[in-house]
Structure 1
């Protein structure tokens, strides 16, 4: 993105754009070659067996091409069909249902994390500044994820120049991640949950003397117990996923923990320069967040233990739900009913730093709402190739469309692609951006109303969103910000993608 004003004025940024592939109708390379192949086959059949057989062959091949051309929310017809087949196959095998706990068939009566999180392991290390940090290992992808608690400062009573500087510093964080060889993703998570009042009660106890007057103690504790009613608290965190780049780190989590511990203070300093105070979360803190997300009823117990400094006693291999069921458009887990949406298209117009404010802010009608923004920086060499290819494709599109509105739109695409090249030459990075929204409510909740509320918030933020049909459980796990990067777990052949 690029700023369009001076540093002392409100800045507007160009929204992200997807690199275009100017094949047949803008389709991907494999699809383009498939279409060309159907034309060649039809012509050969026509020359060999005549018009009738050639027409029949061409019609059949055309029907095979149509699902690739017709896209909805970025998915081809083949993608939607294959996803549906996989989902119904899982239903038939009852793989969408999970039961854990003492009376289940799980080894040791554990409540292990289900689905894509099942193979993960939790480790703990210490960085060079002396902070303990939890480290989640995803063996399938050889990835390690650390999570940091975050306290955004907000922009109230802050000079415009400082706000612009914070935005610029965050851009430096993302660009710097692309210069490394092992940062796979950076995922800020804005999580809202009902306010329990535990923290306020703990503070009230800490400042109240045993011999204080009864009336004074009554006033303090009454305020602490009454203040949190109908309130919603915001808990922010930032997850960073690293790829193990050596055989030693792939096999030995301890070696990866040493590497992360060496770099973590520098990463913290870079993020804090963008106006967000951060601290590494311990293994126990991460486990508590995960358990609370799967089992909303456990929030009070976990917060009480953390407020008093006690151990909540939940281990990583026991942090999952007692039961869960993945449905077509919902995810049921331990008395909770969650729905996750993903961003299918970002803002088409210019944006500023407050574009997502209404979506991430606490909402009284959506007390359990989680917004995860997924940044996946491209490697520096890959970014150059992607931007250059996009520029060439934009020029080809402009040359092919020489009249009317299409021509004007194509020319704008060329200008945007050229600006991206200029920004890359100045040291900016190229980053893939995704966004997930998860809302958790009781089983009896009015989901159509919640769907309307979330849709309205998305429209206000210039976002196009859609439900994560057929993979609600995986999307729920991805929005937690604990190392699940959905494209790395895709089951879709690349030849069928748009």
Structure 2
């Protein structure tokens, strides 16, 4: 009997490249300009002051170049790290890292205003062409508008690898379609893993218990309500799209109403295509839902109160001026806000090798020994408008060809990646700058 061979192999993903600086070597554009200016000054010192002055100027120039050219594994130079330390120290001396809001705070209008760049943001609510309300965040300082979609990811448990591959391909296609969407400047995905209060489960079970059900069945359900929420977790995901106020580069800026009318007809198509990526049911968040999400992010203890209010049928009424923190204090390596203490890690480099579609599975999965709340944000910001984008699979580019001259292993891999990228872009793909921020939030920092 002939053996049955399964020809399917789970695809790998990769071919990402770090953007190169517009300068000589590791120097940026400004540092390169400083290099030429320094060389000119050094030559002048040689002619005017002689060898001693020239050598002194050359040594000073070399030290300055070392500060901006010698980088660590995170591609941060000595000068950048020193400047960041000095800037934070100056901010702490001015107490700019401390924020107090509300009627007894420092804000003159007595509201719980959002801190930082979101302080000047405004929240509006409109309806799309399906009649669904959607919240629209307006940031006047940058003339940007943001819409947030709530999703219900299906997850990869008991799902065929072929289906997961199709979801990833559809996600790449959805990102590619954003290049054809007018005025889109960025997209982000946020996955949150947090403890479940059990209010939603209790509401679902108690609403379905029949009065004539057997006593043993009722007892089992009530026992499950008491034991299941302990240690359980809830996973939520949101997708945010940011649009420019100008329909095209250099065009006239539109008002809030004009932008809302334009987005009202485009949101249904965006949500339908997003559902094919494994995001599950997708709908834009209304103003109240968005206020609850932001409020819980700053005050994790409020999640249980909000869930209990929904369970009891009590409406939660929050405005945009009430979702900010009552108090926060930013440290060098931590951030304290209301009932939460947070620490964030920023991705400084993509994996060097190829990865599977489940590479972030352990990161976003609930763990009993992990912090009580964790936010994983995966921004995917679109750079220059291109014809599209999709994640390149190296197994599709196995025959990209080799260089005609000898090269080291790293250079050869880099050349293959460049050739594969050029081939994919010629077929209609595009380039996307992406990054990732992981934030762990706990209610108490604990000892040490």
What TM-score comes out, normalization by structure 2 length?
0.87
CA distance in 2, matches of 1:17, 1:187: 19
What is residue 284 of structure 2 aligned with on the other side?
280
Moved more, 209-218 or 349-358: 209-218
CA distance in 2, matches of 1:159, 1:249: 48
Go from structure 1 to structure 2 and tell me whether the alpha carbon gap of 1:262 and 1:248 turns closer, same or farther (over 3 Å shift): farther
CA contact (8 A) 1:340 1:439 kept: yes
CA contact (8 A) 2:190 2:376 kept: yes
What is residue 371 of structure 1 aligned with on the other side?
376
Unaligned runs of 5+ in 2: 1-5, 390-402
CA distance in 2, matches of 1:383, 1:276: 20
Question: Of 320, 323, 328, which residue of structure 2 is paired with 1:324?
Answer: 328
Secondary structure of 2:348's counterpart equals strand
What is residue 268 of structure 1 aligned with on the other side?
271
Go from structure 1 to structure 2 and tell me whether the alpha carbon gap of 1:249 and 1:213 turns closer, same or farther (over 3 Å shift): farther
What is residue 26 of structure 2 aligned with on the other side?
26
Moved more, 79-88 or 371-380: 79-88
What is residue 469 of structure 1 aligned with on the other side?
none
Question: How far 1:211 sits from its partner (Å)?
Answer: 7.2
Secondary structure of 2:363's counterpart equals helix
Output aligned runs, 1:55-204, within 5 Å: 55-72=55-72, 73-204=74-205
Secondary structure of 1:50's counterpart equals helix
Go from structure 1 to structure 2 and tell me whether the alpha carbon gap of 1:434 and 1:114 turns closer, same or farther (over 3 Å shift): same
Question: Of 315, 319, 331, which residue of structure 2 is paired with 1:315?
Answer: 319
CA distance in 1, matches of 2:246, 2:149: 22
What is residue 260 of structure 2 aligned with on the other side?
257
Go from structure 1 to structure 2 and tell me whether the alpha carbon gap of 1:135 and 1:215 turns closer, same or farther (over 3 Å shift): same
What is residue 35 of structure 2 aligned with on the other side?
35
Unaligned runs of 5+ in 1: 1-5, 385-397, 448-498
Go from structure 1 to structure 2 and tell me whether the alpha carbon gap of 1:103 and 1:346 turns closer, same or farther (over 3 Å shift): same
1:382-439 Cα deviation digits (max 9, x unpaired): 999xxxxxxxxxxxxx99xx987xx442233222111111111111121111100111
Question: How far 1:249 sits from its partner (Å)?
Answer: 8.2
CA contact (8 A) 1:377 1:429 kept: no
CA distance in 1, matches of 2:251, 2:179: 23
What is residue 339 of structure 2 aligned with on the other side?
335
CA distance in 2, matches of 1:281, 1:381: 29
Go from structure 1 to structure 2 and tell me whether the alpha carbon gap of 1:248 and 1:131 turns closer, same or farther (over 3 Å shift): farther
CA contact (8 A) 2:386 2:431 kept: no
Output aligned runs, 1:207-222, within 5 Å: 207-209=208-210, 217-222=218-223
CA distance in 1, matches of 2:446, 2:143: 39
Secondary structure of 2:277's counterpart equals coil
Question: Of 334, 337, 344, which residue of structure 1 is paired with 2:348?
Answer: 344
CA contact (8 A) 2:46 2:54 kept: yes
Secondary structure of 1:413's counterpart equals helix
CA distance in 2, matches of 1:340, 1:165: 32
Go from structure 1 to structure 2 and tell me whether the alpha carbon gap of 1:424 and 1:248 turns closer, same or farther (over 3 Å shift): closer
Go from structure 1 to structure 2 and tell me whether the alpha carbon gap of 1:209 and 1:150 turns closer, same or farther (over 3 Å shift): same
CA distance in 1, matches of 2:251, 2:201: 46
Go from structure 1 to structure 2 and tell me whether the alpha carbon gap of 1:57 and 1:353 turns closer, same or farther (over 3 Å shift): same
Question: How far 1:37 sits from its partner (Å)?
Answer: 2.9
Question: How far 1:104 sits from its partner (Å)?
Answer: 2.6
CA contact (8 A) 2:175 2:388 kept: no
Question: How far 1:363 sits from its partner (Å)?
Answer: 1.8
CA contact (8 A) 1:122 1:134 kept: yes
Question: How far 1:346 sits from its partner (Å)?
Answer: 0.9
Q: Higher helix fraction: Structure 1 or Structure 2?
A: 1
CA distance in 1, matches of 2:185, 2:269: 17
CA distance in 2, matches of 1:131, 1:446: 47
Go from structure 1 to structure 2 and tell me whether the alpha carbon gap of 1:382 and 1:82 turns closer, same or farther (over 3 Å shift): farther
Question: How far 1:191 sits from its partner (Å)?
Answer: 0.2
1:324-379 Cα deviation digits (max 9, x unpaired): 11111110111311111100111000112111111111121223011000101223
Computed over aligned residues only, the root mean square deviation of the Cα atoms, in angstroms, reads 2.7
Secondary structure of 1:79's counterpart equals helix
Output aligned runs, 1:228-247, within 5 Å: 228-246=229-247
CA distance in 2, matches of 1:213, 1:149: 38
What is residue 494 of structure 1 aligned with on the other side?
none
User: Number of paired residues?
Assistant: 425
CA distance in 2, matches of 1:195, 1:41: 64
CA distance in 2, matches of 1:40, 1:442: 57
